[in-house]
């Protein structure tokens, strides 16, 4: 049994705004303890035989790479030039797995943003689907429902198969609440978890039969992919023009519903797609009044209130059935029965060009992060963190000067022809137009305060001259 785990890392997670945003979606956010859902998914798949394949957006490549490095698992990252839904993402992964024309592994496709606390039960369930997958079926895994949810699609189980799985009688769209209740009463239905096990060749054959145009576009994109590595992480980039011609469709519509060889295996453990703030709240323990708190939240005379407050004190007094989500630059207060409508909030903010719809104040970069602490006319203050051994690009600015003050660790500064070290409480000045670079030569994180001053302080005032992360020169990002 040779299983290659494929983690689908797409999705914007808009229903978990303001914590999850386009620039930093929910799969990368630490939601359970100090680990992200992607890290937990990598942990859960560590028993598989082959290195992991992560399919992700180009914009999130280093967030995925960081998670792989933190969990110390072998793998590569397949980078989509644009989002084209799960059918195209799975096709790319299957083509990559079969790139040598010889191997034909079982591929286990898993979303990156699900929470399944019992990893052993999950692995046992996957193994139950191996005989059907080895015989040529596409195996999906449905969750035994614990309540009549209208947030999930359903799978109606059919007849038993000789390989100990069940056939799929039909897939059911997300039902209305009364229809969901009726489904549970009739029995024999499962929540559709979007987890699949199949031979790479079987998936490609099904795509050729039911969605040949998607397969053709992906084959063209993977004919000569561009490949490079940063550290131990290997990136595979499909050809962009060919992939952009691919239509967007989910694997459920493209293959699963019309295909005649789909099997299902039930999973009876705890599962959540963490698709709303109510689902996040359910991950923590309630007090006697039904309140759930993470971080620095406090409740007084409150009932059934959830507070997420990682950074500062938040108090709920006399509230009931509320969700309170606090972040450094945005606050959400919502009634619990409106949790599914948070995505409409994001659309509203985007329509009104509110930057917080997509961007956090703290922005991830391949070398670390920066946090925009303060801003005013002709000045901006950032707190910058640089990982051990990492470097910002060699760059210059046309419109701003910068003061750097080291507050933690050691900085190696390139300023023109000079290269020198700064330790804690030391500072330096970068004039307008001066070529410069910041590097962390130490074994601990470097943190510094950057004070920018000038006539224009936008992120696109960066002329990148050299970069160790494969980013293009002159790109408007540090």
Q: Model confidence over 380-410: pLDDT tens digits?
A: 999 999 999 999 999 999 999 999 999 999 9
Residues 325, 241 within the same domain: no
Q: Is residue 150 part of a domain?
A: yes
Cα-flanking dihedrals φ and ψ of residue 352, to 5°?
Answer: -95, 15
The angle formed by the CA atoms of residues 194, 211 and 234, to the nearest 5 degrees, is 60
Quick one: average pLDDT of 41-62?
93
Residue 458 is assigned to a structural domain of this protein = yes
Q: Is residue 277 part of a domain?
A: no
Cβ–Cβ contacts within 10 Å for residue 305, how many? 24
Does one domain contain both 53 and 197? yes
Q: Give, in order, the Cα–Cα distances in Å from 285 to each of 203, 234, 259.
A: 41, 40, 42
Asked if residue 175 has pLDDT above 50, the reply is: yes
Count CB neighbours of 200 within 10 A.
22
Answer with the one of 351, 372, 398 that is the final residue of a domain. Answer: 351
In a domain, 21, yes or no: yes
Do residues 262 and 311 both lie within one domain? Answer: no
Q: pLDDT category, 473, cuts 50, 70, 90?
A: low
Predicted local distance difference test score (pLDDT) of residue 334: 97
Quick one: pLDDT at residue 33?
A: 79
Is residue 258 scored above 70 in pLDDT? yes
Burial of 409 (0-12, 13-18, 19+ CB in 10 A): buried
State pLDDT tens for residues 260-307: 999 999 999 999 999 999 999 999 999 999 999 999 999 999 999 999
Residues 135 and 257 in one domain: yes
Residue 282 is assigned to a structural domain of this protein: no
Tokens 């039960």 — which residue? 121
CATH code of the domain containing 444: 2.60.120.10
Question: What pLDDT is attached to residue 472?
Answer: 61
Whether residue 23 sits in one domain with residue 120 = yes
180 and 321 in a single domain? The answer is: no
Whether residue 165 is contained in a domain is answered as yes
pLDDT of residue 34: 83
Sorting pLDDT into bands at 50, 70 and 90, what band is 226? very high
pLDDT digits (tens, 9 = 90+) for 127-163: 999 999 999 999 999 999 999 998 899 999 999 999 9
Is the pLDDT at 426 greater than 90? The verdict is: yes
Tokens of 348: 């509203």
Tens-digit pLDDT profile for residues 319-366 = 999 999 999 999 999 999 999 999 999 999 999 999 999 989 888 888
Is the pLDDT at 24 greater than 70? The verdict is yes
pLDDT of the residue at 23: 87
pTM of the model: 0.89
Using the 3D structure, point to which of 238, 267, 296 is the last residue of a domain: 267
Q: What's the average model confidence in pLDDT over 56-83?
A: 92
d(CA 189, CA 456): 59
176 assigned to some structural domain: yes
pLDDT of residue 471: 66
Query: Based on the domain organization, do 316 and 415 belong to the same domain?
Result: no
Query: Is 219 in the same domain as 298?
Result: no
The string of DSSP letters for 103-158 reads ---EEEEEETT-B-S-HHHHHHHHHHTHHHHHTTPEEEEEEPPSS--SSS-EEEEE
Q: Tell me, what's the pLDDT at 1?
A: 62
**476 pLDDT band (50/70/90 cuts)?**
very low
Cα–Cα distance list, 10 to 42, 60, 371 (Å): 15, 9, 24
Q: Are residues 315 and 234 in the same domain?
A: no
40 is in which domain, residue-wise?
3-267
Question: Residue 228 has what pLDDT?
Answer: 87
Q: What is the CATH number of the domain that holds 73?
A: 3.90.550.10
CB 359 within 8 A of CB 23: yes
> What is the arithmetic mean of pLDDT over 193-215?
97
Q: Which one, of 121, 200, 133, 191, lies nearest residue 164 by Cα?
A: 133
- Indicate the number of domains in the chain: 3
Report the SS3 class of residue 197: strand
Do 305 and 425 fall into the same domain? no
Distances in Å between the Cα of 422 and the Cα atoms of 54, 366, 392, 429 are 38, 22, 16, 12
- Of the residues 267, 299, 334, which one is the last residue of a structural domain? 267
Residue 63: inside a domain? yes
Closest CA to 342 of 83, 21, 86: 21
Is the predicted pLDDT of residue 73 greater than 80, yes or no? yes
């Amino acid at each position: 049994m040779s299983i290659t785990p494929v983690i689908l890392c797409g999705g914007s997670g808009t229903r978990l705004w303001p914590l999850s945003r386009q620039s930093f979606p929910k799969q990368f956010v630490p939601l359970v303890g100090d680990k992200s859902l992607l890290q937990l998914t990598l942990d859960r798949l560590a028993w598989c035989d082959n290195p992991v394949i992560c399919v992700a957006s180009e914009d999130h490549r280093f967030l995925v790479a960081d998670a792989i490095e933190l969990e110390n698992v072998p793998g590569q990252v397949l980078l989509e030039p644009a989002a084209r839904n799960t059918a195209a993402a799975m096709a790319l992964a299957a083509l990559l797995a079969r790139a040598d024309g010889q191997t034909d592994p079982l591929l286990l496709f898993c979303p990156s943003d699900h929470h399944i606390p019992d990893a052993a039960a999950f692995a046992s369930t996957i193994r139950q689907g191996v005989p059907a997958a080895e015989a040529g079926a596409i195996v999906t895994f449905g969750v035994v429902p614990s309540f009549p949810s209208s947030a999930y699609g359903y799978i109606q189980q059919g007849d038993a198969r000789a390989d100990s799985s069940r056939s799929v009688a039909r897939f059911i769209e997300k039902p209305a609440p009364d229809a969901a209740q009726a489904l549970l009463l009739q029995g024999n239905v499962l929540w559709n978890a979007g987890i699949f096990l199949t031979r790479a060749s079987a998936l490609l054959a099904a795509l050729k039969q039911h969605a040949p145009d998607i397969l053709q576009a992906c084959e063209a994109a993977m004919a000569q992919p561009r490949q490079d590595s940063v550290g131990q992480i290997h990136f595979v980039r499909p050809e962009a023009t060919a992939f952009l011609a691919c239509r967007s469709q989910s694997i459920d519509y493209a293959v699963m519903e019309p295909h005649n060889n789909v099997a299902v295996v039930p999973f009876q453990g705890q599962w959540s797609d963490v698709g709303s703030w109510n689902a996040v709240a359910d991950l923590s323990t309630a007090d006697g009044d039904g309140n759930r708190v993470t971080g620095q939240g406090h409740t007084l005379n409150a009932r059934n209130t959830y507070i997420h407050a990682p950074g500062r004190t938040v108090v709920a007094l006399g509230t009931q059935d509320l969700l309170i989500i606090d972040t450094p630059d945005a606050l959400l207060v919502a009634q619990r029965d409106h949790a599914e409508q948070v995505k409409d909030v994001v659309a509203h903010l985007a329509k009104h060009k509110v930057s917080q719809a997509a961007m956090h104040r703290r922005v991830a970069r391949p070398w670390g992060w920066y946090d925009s602490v303060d801003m005013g006319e002709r000045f901006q203050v950032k707190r910058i963190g640089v990982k051990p051994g990492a470097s910002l690009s060699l760059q210059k600015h046309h419109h701003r000067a910068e003061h750097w003050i080291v507050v933690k660790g050691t900085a190696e500064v390139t300023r023109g022809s000079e290269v020198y070290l700064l330790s804690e409480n030391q500072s330096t000045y970068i004039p307008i137009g001066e070529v410069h670079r910041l590097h962390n030569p130490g074994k601990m994180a470097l943190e510094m305060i950057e004070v920018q001053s000038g006539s224009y302080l936008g992120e696109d005032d960066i002329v990148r001259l050299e970069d160790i992360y494969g980013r293009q020169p002159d790109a408007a990002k540090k």
